Amino acid sequence: MAGFLTSRLFFVSLALVIIAATLPLYVSGYVLGLLTVAFYFGVFAMAWDLLFGFAGEVNFGPTFLIGVGAYTAGILNAQFGWSVYLCIVLGALASVIAGLVLALPALRVRGPYFGLTTLVAVLMLQNFIVVFADLTGGEIGLTIPDVITINAGANYWIALGFMTISAAILYGLSQSPVGLVLQASGQDPVQAGALGFNIVKHKLAAFIVSAFFSGLSGALLVFYFGTASVGTVVDVAVGVNVIVSAVLGGRRTVLGAALGAIFLIVAGEFLRPTGELATFIVSAVALLVVLFFPGGFLGAALSREARS
């Protein structure tokens, strides 16, 4: 940890955060809105990377955790009128419970089987939302009466601060002894177990942390949007974006995942003039990165630094 505080990565990150924090002084509300969403997405991608990059669990359903957090917060606010902050906390807690539910099969099955279980979890949540339309707003979505604030600058700072704190915690965790045990149990569970580490306990912890941040970010996002819908927080396509962000930015780097998410959302916006081809171009770029720079943006940069 002490090494990190003097490393180049730390200073680059610090500089980026400081520059980002001053943005509301001179860019338009439109750019701020875009980046606010991108920052919440960054947290989704970092939480996913903790599970995949470190615990070695291929979670195809990040939106299960995100969606449970987002919808719990949204429903409690819209149907029962509870206060925004209480709803956000309860949303994150609900997501932790969802994370535990998801962790149960992960401790039994591995690889593609676990991946499928998580995908099924998303499809079930989606069906549940559509079936209980009275409670959840169904396919149209749930309109949420309260928001944290309507000031674009304040929203931006909340998102940036939230992402920075999450990044610090998740990155710190990944570099800590706990993170190393996680990495070991992800790569070779038998050997890690033979060395005397409790794999089950560590994996459960990874699921809880990942779910907590996904749910918290999802809950904050719905109070920013003022609406919760399947298309924005649950759909498999949203989950795909989270996974692509993490792989694009560099798996097993945590911070890279946030970069990937910001890139993906900003690039999608820049390509808007190309109309329907935007998704095609983003996917093609992502595929090229996967094929030619499997380490992702940050992975490629870090390995170059290590070599020189």
* Residues found near other proteins in the complex (CB under 8 A): 52, 58, 105, 108-109, 111-113, 115-117, 119-120, 123-124, 127, 130-131, 187, 236-237, 240, 243-244, 247, 276-277, 279-280, 283-284, 286-287, 290-291, 294-295
204: Cβ contacts below 8 Å, ≥ 6 apart: 100, 103, 107
Q: How far is the CB of 194 from other proteins (least distance, A)?
A: 18
Nearest residue to 253 (alpha-carbon basis) of 174, 180, 186, 184: 174
Q: How far is the CB of 271 from other proteins (least distance, A)?
A: 12
Helix axes 278-292, 236-249, angle to 10 degrees: 40
Q: What whole-number distance in Å separates Cα of residue 88 and Cα of residue 77?
A: 9
Q: How far is the CB of 282 from other proteins (least distance, A)?
A: 9
**C-beta of 15 vs 133, nearer to other proteins:** 133
95, 214 in Cβ contact below 8 A? yes
**C-beta of 16 vs 236, nearer to other proteins:** 236
166, 217 in Cβ contact below 8 A? yes
Q: How far is the CB of 204 from other proteins (least distance, A)?
A: 17
**C-beta of 120 vs 168, nearer to other proteins:** 120
Q: What whole-number distance in Å separates Cα of residue 108 and Cα of residue 269?
A: 41
**C-beta of 114 vs 157, nearer to other proteins:** 114
**C-beta of 204 vs 243, nearer to other proteins:** 243
52, 246 in Cβ contact below 8 A? yes
Q: How far is the CB of 103 from other proteins (least distance, A)?
A: 13
Q: Would you say how long the chain is, in residues?
A: 308
